[in-house]
Amino acid sequence: MPQFDFANVFLSQLVWLAVFFAILYVVVLATLPRLGKVMQAREDQVSSDLDTAEKAKATADKLQADYDAGVAAAQDAARARLTEARTRAAKALEARLAESNAALAARADAAEADLNAARTAAMSEIEAVAADAASDIVEKLTGKRPTPAAASKAARSALA
């Protein structure tokens, strides 16, 4: 292999090594500033994006806090309206119950008056029946029939 023959080719290999090293060095020197600029631009872009993201997060957090406050206010307002509606419904129910109770009391009074009238009528009929029965008994025992007024008086005192 000719490249391992140091007697003939060593000097030419050294020259070619220096030429290729110089070309590589020039290419690297030309590429490094552009690479640095690209890296710096990328770093600036990432930094800018992070700042934008932080601002967006702060805005989103503020919006979330405002939304939560709005929801809480709406819930409080709904609770207040619900409490007010319950209070109105309870008052309306109390009023209807009062009307119903008044109507029931009136019906109960009327029923009690009817019952008293029926009781009085029944008592007078019972007195009449008791007076007749007492007159019949006295007549059978004594042979003499008492007067209707006396029999009625005696039955009334016995029933009272």
DSSP-assigned states of every residue in 87-126: HHHHHHHHHHHHHHHHHHHHHHHHHHHHHHHHHHHHHHHH
**What are the percentages of helix, strand and coil residues in the chain, rounded to 5?**
95, 0, 5
The CB density around residue 130, as the number of other CB atoms within 10 Å, is 18
pLDDT tens for the chain, residues 1 to 160: 556 666 666 677 788 899 999 999 999 998 999 999 999 999 999 999 999 999 999 999 999 999 999 999 999 999 999 999 999 999 999 999 999 999 999 999 999 999 999 988 888 888 888 888 888 888 888 888 888 888 888 888 887 6
Do 118 and 129 contact (CB within 8 A), yes or no?
A: no
- End-to-end Cα separation, the chain, in angstroms: 156
Q: What are the residue ranges spanned by the domains of the chain?
A: 9-159
Task: In whole angstroms, give the CA distance from residue 129 to residue 125.
Answer: 6
Give the pair of three-digit tokens for residue 82: 């619900």
Give the pair of three-digit tokens for residue 25: 């060095």
Question: What angle, rounded to 10 degrees, do the helices at 148-159 and 6-142 form?
Answer: 140
Task: In whole angstroms, give the CA distance from residue 154 to residue 37.
Answer: 135
How much is the pLDDT for 132?
Answer: 87
How much is the pLDDT for 6?
Answer: 62
Do 134 and 151 contact (CB within 8 A), yes or no?
A: yes
Task: In whole angstroms, give the CA distance from residue 69 to residue 63.
Answer: 10
- What lies within 8 Å, CB to CB, of 123 at 6+ separation is 159
Give CB contacts under 8 A, 24+ apart, made by 41-48. Answer: none
How much is the pLDDT for 5?
Answer: 63
How much is the pLDDT for 124?
Answer: 83
